[in-house]
Amino acid sequence: MATIEEKIQKLKRERGAIIIAHNYQPDEVQAIADFTGDSLELSRKAAELEEEVIVFCGVHFMAETAAILSPEKTILIPDRFAGCPMADMITDEQLREKKSEHPDAVVICYVNSSAAVKAECDLCCTSSNARAIAASVPADKEIIFVPDTHLGHYVQKELGREMIIWDGYCPTHSRIRDVDILRERAKHPNAKVMAHPECPKQIRDLADYLLSTGQMCQHAKESDETEFIVATEMGLLYRLRNENPGKQFYAVSDRALCPNMKKINVEKVLWALENMQYRVTVPQETADKARRSIERMLELS
Ligand code: 13P
Ligand code: SF4
């Protein structure tokens, strides 16, 4: 009898589909994915793929970004309740109100936001290019940065430039405590700390490197360092360990789990391909406006 993985591969061929997965996906999902990456890498991939059907293993805003960039394609998310709490911390209505208080400001939205919010923005960014995107804004312009307060404050500090920052946050990265870093450092004195800029300030201040998940993979591969404490969602350890068998990676805390990323599993991927569900679509007017902010980001990074 065919295994789930074999059934997925067969159906994938029949449907002309490709499976792409975020770095936080469960190990079993990353193992069957054709491509795994961070938010920026997945946006780029979604824009250039030839396949007609993309099974997007990640959270809803990521699949929505793919639907905005490729409106002619069928984008499937295997669990329609896989959302991102941070993305839900701002609505388009709230953003319009903030914009009305600062009518000349340039609005930058972290990719972890809804299509409706992206449609209200001038520029989109991810954790790997937020600094460069904000730096591209003329110095005499105010910047409104939504929705992640931690990424916003990281960029503000890097650029030495005041921004109007929304107070959204990632519940998963907020569960990482400074005592977790101090404990792991004491256990592994030679290890370098790689932290995600979605982490709160006390964690960012203790980190050796602040990197997106894709940049962590690249740094781990290219650097001579051999031991790392990884301060982000634990799913990334799968890739780090697979790609660097001679190096050691320590999870900062077993509470650094994103329950939404973990809603997807191989059974649901098979179900998605069998039933061509759940289709992620964005109303055309919203998609057309949101696409501009994403395409500007892709041009600048
Ligand atoms: P990156 O993969 O871009 O580093 O983002 C992490 C994240 O939390 C996405 O939700
Ligand atoms: Fe959202 Fe945080 Fe989960 Fe990323 S890790 S999808 S920001 S809740």
Model confidence over 261-287: pLDDT tens digits? Answer: 999 999 999 999 999 999 999 999 999
Judge if the beta carbon of residue 234 lies within 6 A of ligand 2. Answer: no
pTM (predicted TM-score) = 0.96
User: What percentage of the chain reaches a pLDDT higher than 70?
Assistant: 100
Q: In the predicted model, is pLDDT for residue 207 greater than 90?
A: yes
- How many angstroms separate the alpha carbon of residue 173 from the centre of ligand 1? 10
Judge if the beta carbon of residue 86 lies within 6 A of ligand 2. Answer: yes
Q: Would you state the pLDDT for residue 1?
A: 85
Model confidence over 169-181: pLDDT tens digits? Answer: 999 999 999 999 9
Q: Which ligand is nearest to the CA of 176?
A: 2
What mean pLDDT is predicted for residues 235-257?
A: 97
User: How many Cα atoms sit within 13 Å of 263 on the Cβ side?
Assistant: 15
Q: Name which CATH class applies to 87-170+286-300.
A: alpha beta
Ligand 2 atom closest to the Cα of residue 24 is: 5
Q: Would you state the pLDDT for residue 281?
A: 96
Q: Would you state the pLDDT for residue 40?
A: 84
Q: Would you state the pLDDT for residue 301?
A: 83
Distances in Å between the Cα of 93 and the Cα atoms of 49, 90, 97, 106, 249 are 33, 8, 6, 17, 42
Locate CATH 3.40.50.10800 in the chain: 4-81+261-283, 87-170+286-300, 172-251
Judge if the beta carbon of residue 256 lies within 6 A of ligand 2. Answer: no
Cβ distance 258 to 233 under 8 Å?
A: yes
Sign of the CA dihedral with 261 first, then 263, 265, and 267 last? negative
What mean pLDDT is predicted for residues 247-257?
A: 96
Model confidence over 175-198: pLDDT tens digits? Answer: 999 999 999 999 999 999 999 999
What mean pLDDT is predicted for residues 214-221?
A: 97
Give which of 1, 6, 23 is closest to 266, Cα–Cα: 6
Distances in Å between the Cα of 60 and the Cα atoms of 106, 155, 189 are 25, 25, 38
- How many angstroms separate the alpha carbon of residue 117 from the centre of ligand 2? 17
What is the C-alpha separation between 21 and 184, in angstroms, rounded?
A: 29
Cβ distance 195 to 209 under 8 Å?
A: yes
Model confidence over 28-52: pLDDT tens digits? Answer: 999 999 999 998 899 889 888 989 9
- Fold that domain 4-81+261-283 belongs to in CATH: Rossmann fold (3.40.50)
Model confidence over 70-105: pLDDT tens digits? Answer: 999 999 999 999 999 999 999 999 999 999 999 999
What is the C-alpha separation between 42 and 38, in angstroms, rounded?
A: 6
Q: If you count DSSP H runs as helices and E runs as strands, how many of each does the chain have, helices first? A: 15, 12
Q: Would you state the pLDDT for residue 30?
A: 98
Name the average pLDDT for the chain.
96
Architecture of domain 172-251: 3-Layer(aba) Sandwich (3.40)
